[in-house]
Every structure is written in structure tokens, then in C-alpha cells.
Amino acid sequence: MTQALQHLLNTLVLGGTYALLGIGLTLIFGIMNVVNFTHGALYTFGAYAAYLACAALGLDFFLALPVAILAGLALGALIELVLLRPLRGSDMDTTMLVMIGAGIILQSGTLWIFGGVAKAIPTPFPDAPLQIGPVSLSWLRVFVFAAALALIAVTYGLINGTRLGRAMRASFQDADTAALMGVNVGFIYTATFAIGSALAAAAGALLGPVYVVFPQMGDLAAVKAFAIVILGGLGSISGATIGGFILALAEEFGAGYVSSGYRDAMGFLIIIAVLLVKPTGLFARAERIG
């Protein structure tokens, strides 16, 4: 019982960051129809940005997350402007290949600059965990969970409650008509890719201190992000949120009750199962952003 409670608690923590990863990916796919193969690299990038902010610049730990988010926004905008904008209107395969290439360049660049040795991000939290009845949670994980929830809430607010978000949804539903309303659809694409990238970077910056930071950390994160998006239905933000928590649940309980070696297999299992049973995703509203 206690063990199950502990797993549930871990699920919440992990699910929050997974949801961020998934929302970023699904947003980009939903609005731009781009399968973002740099998503894993952006996750790694966020973790390294946080590491640099803390270790090299000596910034406060709590500033590392905003630094990583801003860096993710900037890199995302750059990728969109340099790679995706000139490719708009070309077929999906071309875009995919270019994005795969960009992902490889980013990962190799990280390896080249930082080397293959894993880095740890120091945190200011006390060693003693937070005790909640029979279960416990490190303060770092409490922070990660709270920050992830806050970022999910901000993203929902942005999409559903702002002029930019409304223009993003309009562009997704009907780009030509959005243009007729005066929306600068090109800018919306840049903003969407930047926001999606920033969410991936945020997830990396949040999980970086929980685990360690290394150049290939994004590979598995990308698989998980795809699993979440497939689970939630392509283009569905609420689907990606729920999908993030479901994947975390599957991983926690798979690792806890089957074998810890299966933890990272859960993402693949979910992709296969969903594609076999319900290829449109469990919460399929594939035609909808929101």
C-alpha cells in the first residue's frame, strides 16, 4: 500500500515534466504539421542551459529554469526561421529529414563542446525529504512538480486566454482564413515552434538536476514525447497532458512491479499498443488544438 502510494507520488512528479515534453511536441505538430525530430535535442539543450547557468555563470538555481526557457525560445525561433521557414510548402518527408539532421547536429555539437561525461546540476535543497505520512519526496522533486504544473497552466492560459493563443488556434484550424483576419501566420509558426521548444528545454532543465546531464539524454526523452503525443492524439494539448501522466504511471508501476529494467520500455510498449488498438490516440480530437 505504502509502496503504491510512493509510486503514485513519483508518477505525479514525473508526469508533470512528461506532459511539458508532450505538449511542446503536440503543439508544433498540431499547428505547423511538422514532426519535430529536434525535440529530444532541445530537451538536452535545456538541461545544458540550466547546467551552464548554475555551474559556469554561477547563477542561483532558481534562475536556471527561466534561463533554460529563454534559451529554448531563442533556439526554437532560430531553427524555425533558418530551417523551417524556407521549407514551408515542401513535402513532409523533406522537412522530417532536415529536422533529423538538425537533431544530430545539435547532439553532436553538445558532445563536442561538453564531452561525453555526465554533469550534475547542484541544487540548494535540504537532503532530508518531505515526509507526507508514510511516503516521502525529495524537495527537489517537489519543486520540479510545482514548476511543471505552473508551466502547464501558463501554456493553457496562453493558448486559451490570450490574443496570441487565439491566433495560434485560428491558424491551426484554417491558416488562410486566419490570414484574412490579419494574423501574421508566418510569425505564428515561429512563435509556436519557439514555445514548443521552450517547453522541451524546460522539461530538460527540470529533470536535469533529478538525474544527470549528458549529450544523449534527449534520445529517450524524444521517444517518450512521441509516445505521449501518440497516446493523447496528435495535436491535442489536453491529450498530451493526460498522456504524460499515463506514461509516468506506466513507467513507475512497470518499474516497481515488473522489473526496473522495463521502465524505459514502457514508452515503446505504449506506442505499439495504441497504434494497434486506437491509432488516432486515446483522446483523439486530432483536428483540435486545445
Count CB atoms within 10 A of the CB of residue 147.
Answer: 18
Q: Binding to another protein (CB under 8 A): which residues in 210-229? A: none
Q: Which is nearer to another protein, 137 or 159 (CB)?
A: 159
Of 58, 182, 261, 279, the one binding another protein (CB under 8 A) is 182
Give the 3-state secondary structure percentages of the chain, helix then strand then coil, rounded to 5: 75, 5, 25
Q: Which is nearer to another protein, 35 or 179 (CB)?
A: 179
**Distance between CA atoms of 285 and 146, rounded to whole angstroms?**
28
The single-letter code of the amino acid at 132 is I
Q: In whole angstroms, how close is the CB of 87 to another protein at the nearest point? A: 19
Q: Is 39 in the site for another protein (CB under 8 A)?
A: no
Q: Is 60 in the site for another protein (CB under 8 A)?
A: no
Q: Binding to another protein (CB under 8 A): which residues in 271-290? A: 287-290
Of 25, 64, 167, 242, the one binding another protein (CB under 8 A) is 167
Of 58, 93, 176, 261, the one binding another protein (CB under 8 A) is 176
155 to each of 54, 62, 97, 191, how far by Cα in Å?
25, 20, 29, 13
Instruction: Note whether 76 and 196 are within 8 A (CB).
Output: yes
Reference 256, options 21, 23, 8; nearest CA is: 8
Q: Is 90 in the site for another protein (CB under 8 A)?
A: no
Q: Which is nearer to another protein, 179 or 212 (CB)?
A: 179
The three cell numbers locating residue 230: 501518440
Applying CB under 8 A, which residues contact another protein?
163, 166-167, 169-170, 173-174, 176-184, 287-290
